Amino acid sequence: MHSDRARLGLKIAAGFGLAFMHLPILLIFVYAFTTEDKSYQWPPPGFTLKWFAVTWGRTDVWEALSLSLKVASISTVIALILGTLCAAAVSRTKFFGREVISLLVILPIALPGIITGISLRSAFNLADIPFSFWTIVLGHATFCVVVVYNNAVARFRRVSGSLVEASMDLGANSFQTFRYVILPNISTALLAGGMLAFALSFDEVIVTTFTAGQQQTLPIWMLEELVRPRERPVTNVVAMVVVLVTFLPILAAYYLTRGTDTVAGQGK
């Protein structure tokens, strides 16, 4: 017989597990308000809001943040275009090597970031491409495409093929069919995929380390700050911002794709 009430031991274990995962994040928030700026001292000797002002005034933070936002936006746009096209090709048509291409597209997310990073770095070297903003974008696009592709391909399969034929039959050419039939049916999947891609790109460290030149994205900047401590709580303030910037889109993506299990061409 199943008991609806879990046993006390199990409850405590679950509580500890959750605390272990989330308390460190809470600590980061707490240290953003501490008055001690040389070391992380527990308990904090006092609380202050001055680090927010200090952070606001630091140009290096603004440069890193704007670079990260630009990289994430452009990688996401590239991923949306390529991922959608690729998903359309794989789910709509049958061609020689389709399964192989499907696998090759997904591979970058299965590969450790360090492999992607090293291989891209040596490729850029071989091709004599100087490290720049665009090499970072290319590196990020490799895994952002996968995220969009995965979301889009699942939705494409659910948009039944006869919808496209019906649209063409009613006089719409390929572009109109995409605009009025396919896009409305896959838009939430693209939104979710795009947000996930943005969040992944925004906090990426490993691939960026290998493909960036002198520029620092926000996560790289934070790593540097930890090594050379100066006004430590500034890092914590930035960390809070990063958590919010990445958490909100993921949450939104979750709510947008929830409850859309019955779409397009199901249920005759």
Does position 46 interact with another protein (CB under 8 A)? The reply is no
Does position 185 interact with another protein (CB under 8 A)? The reply is yes
Nearer to another protein among residue 119 and residue 176 (C-beta):
176
**Contact status, residue 143 vs residue 116, Cβ threshold 8 Å:** yes
Nearer to another protein among residue 65 and residue 164 (C-beta):
164
- CB count within 10 Å of CB 133 equals 14
When binding is defined by CB under 8 A, the residue of 12, 170, 251, 252 that contacts another protein is 170
How far apart CA 219 and CA 208 sit, in angstroms, is: 9
Number of residues engaging another protein in binding (CB under 8 A): 24
Among the residue ranges 75-83, 135-143, 169-177, 243-251, the one whose residues contact another protein (CB under 8 A): 169-177
Does position 4 interact with another protein (CB under 8 A)? The reply is no
Residue with token string 């490799």: 142
Q: How is residue 19 written in tokens?
A: 């605390």
Does position 163 interact with another protein (CB under 8 A)? The reply is yes
When binding is defined by CB under 8 A, the residue of 172, 191, 205, 206 that contacts another protein is 172
Nearer to another protein among residue 18 and residue 170 (C-beta):
170
**Contact status, residue 190 vs residue 121, Cβ threshold 8 Å:** no
Q: For residue 161, what are the contacts with CB-CB under 8 A and spacing of at least 6? A: 92
Does position 264 interact with another protein (CB under 8 A)? The reply is yes
Does position 191 interact with another protein (CB under 8 A)? The reply is no
Does position 119 interact with another protein (CB under 8 A)? The reply is no
Q: For residue 220, what are the contacts with CB-CB under 8 A and spacing of at least 6? A: 64, 205, 208, 209, 212
How far apart CA 242 and CA 256 sit, in angstroms, is: 22
Left if phi > 0, otherwise alpha if psi is -120 to 50, otherwise beta: which for 131? beta
Does position 98 interact with another protein (CB under 8 A)? The reply is no
Nearer to another protein among residue 145 and residue 186 (C-beta):
186
When binding is defined by CB under 8 A, the residue of 24, 130, 259, 267 that contacts another protein is 267
Q: How far is the CB of 165 from another protein (least distance, A)?
A: 6
Q: For residue 112, what are the contacts with CB-CB under 8 A and spacing of at least 6? A: 206
Within 123-162, which residues bind another protein (CB under 8 A)?
160, 162
Is the peptide bond between 43 and the residue preceding it cis, with omega within 30 degrees of 0?
yes
Residues at the interface with another protein (CB under 8 A) = 160, 162-163, 165-173, 176, 180-181, 184-185, 262-268
